[in-house]
Amino acid sequence: MTIRRIAALINPTARHGLGAGAAETALGALDAHGLDVTEMIGRDATHAQELAHIAARSDHDAIVVIGGDGSIGMALEAARGTGMSIGLMPAGTGNDHARALGIPIDPVAAAAVIGAGHERSVDLAQITLGDGSTSVFGTVAATGLDALVTERANMLARPKGQLRYPIAAVAEIAKLKPFHYRITVDGTTIERDLVLASVGNSRSYGGGMQITPDAIIDDGLLDLTLVLSGSRLRLLTLFPTVYSGKHIHRPEVEQLRGRKIVLECEPAAPIYADGDRVGMLPATIETLPGAVTFLVPRIPSKESRAQT
């Protein structure tokens, strides 16, 4: 695909305010590649979402998101079903979409990927809450402990970056009580006392924690990782292994896979997706195969087990 005119969605608040400098660098890299850029900066989240929908229905060749995974979420919602391609200039804390698609963090290299115009269709997942409201995500939906960790990490002023997650995890594990889950995967129901249940459309969240290490972003399936209730000491020793994905070999971890997953739990627990709070359980999560198209490197990412 030939890419000449792009709409750039910019989140200057990405990485707790560090995104403004990253946006300036990214725009310079896009300009250096001869791309005609229309800048779109939202006044707030609602305005940013409106701009994303305008961009998705415009005559631009692509939407380019300059920001983190939360900013990408707005583009996913706006672009699905329109045929508009999405490019990424990663400028967030986690950048797990970029990691899943093999997109470089370096802005010059990321701009080169966008200019090359190589496309890849990937899946999204849709969450439907108990009140009927819906949203989509591209990486991981987290409930239980990992949602609580994300919630605490988002409130920490320091440290900035990925170090917030292990600090938040230790604090939450110290006071954690298990949740009783009722989980239905493609019509089959199980009940478990768990500390977390995570649904992955791709492998990682939180800046590279491989909670669903076998998930593939274009296979039409969702991967579910369950961590059974256990001692705090076992949880503290489990947490570091999530970065490598080796936690799945531990006896307290269970994995499932399906196209439609229903999560219910007591007491009620929050659910996060792509690092942002969606609401409270219960929730139904369904795969949307090939829902959006990204601009990606020509060499497939390690995640791909499907043709690209």
3-class secondary structure per residue, 203-231: CCECCCECCCCCCCCCCCCEEEEEEECCC
Q: Is 274 a catalytic residue?
A: no
State the Cα–Cα distance between residues 248 and 35, nearest whole angstrom.
44
Rg (CA), the chain: 19
Considering all CA atoms of the chain, what is the largest pairwise distance in Å, rounded to the nearest integer? Answer: 57
**Nearest Cα residue to 190 out of 200, 199, 180, 198:** 180
Q: Please list the active-site residues.
A: 276
